[in-house]
């Protein structure tokens, strides 16, 4: 994953002053690295009994879809309010630079289904925590959370424990 780390680009003061955005688009544009990323996710979760991958809008869709395909499981999407057809349930959460809400279709997860939540980046954990709450509200089980990048200095993993939290690349400062 060192080549992946070296390819992630820092964008200072985006989306607002004082934030250093970790841009994964150079990794996604490199076919070899993208394959390595998906293979690493598959290797991490292959032994788990997973029924669905839940991809968080929008970059969680990018890693979630090929991971679901590789594991032979379904893909569920969690989106911002107003982007999914009814019937949906919603969950509000705080971001490191504001607030928002997510929604999921009420028929997306059956009771008892085991769900892996995936996204591109773990920062404060608010978005992933909200996604996990949506899984549990539908009586699904969160198997764990998996990210391409973790900003460990923001302590987002603490919000998600005791569930398993996995990241391919971790930044400690």
**Total-model pTM:** 0.94
First-to-last alpha carbon distance for the chain, in angstroms, is 18
CA angle, 75 then 66 then 134, to 5°:
30
CB 130 within 8 A of CB 98: no
CB 84 within 8 A of CB 102: no
pLDDT tens for 47-101 read 999 999 999 999 999 999 999 999 999 999 999 999 999 999 999 987 666 688 9
Ordered structural domains, the chain, with CATH = 2-171 (3.40.50.2020)
- Active site (catalytic) residues: 59, 96
């Amino acid at each position: 994953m060192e080549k992946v780390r070296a390819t992630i680009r820092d964008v200072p003061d985006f989306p607002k002053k004082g934030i250093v955005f970790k841009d994964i688009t150079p990794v996604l544009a490199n076919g070899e690295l993208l394959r390595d990323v998906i293979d690493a996710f598959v290797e991490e979760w292959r032994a788990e009994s997973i029924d669905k991958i839940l991809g968080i809008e929008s970059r969680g869709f990018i890693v979630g879809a090929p991971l679901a395909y590789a594991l032979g499981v379904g893909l569920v999407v969690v989106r911002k309010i107003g982007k999914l057809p009814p019937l949906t349930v919603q969950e509000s959460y705080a971001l490191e630079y504001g607030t928002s809400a997510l929604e999921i279709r009420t028929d997306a997860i059956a009771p008892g289904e085991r769900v892996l939540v995936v996204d591109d980046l773990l920062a404060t954990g608010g978005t992933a925590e909200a996604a996990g709450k949506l899984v549990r509200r539908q009586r699904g089980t969160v198997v764990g959370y998996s990210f391409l990048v973790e900003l460990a200095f923001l302590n987002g993993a603490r919000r998600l424990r005791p569930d398993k939290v996995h990241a391919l690349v971790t930044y400690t400062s």
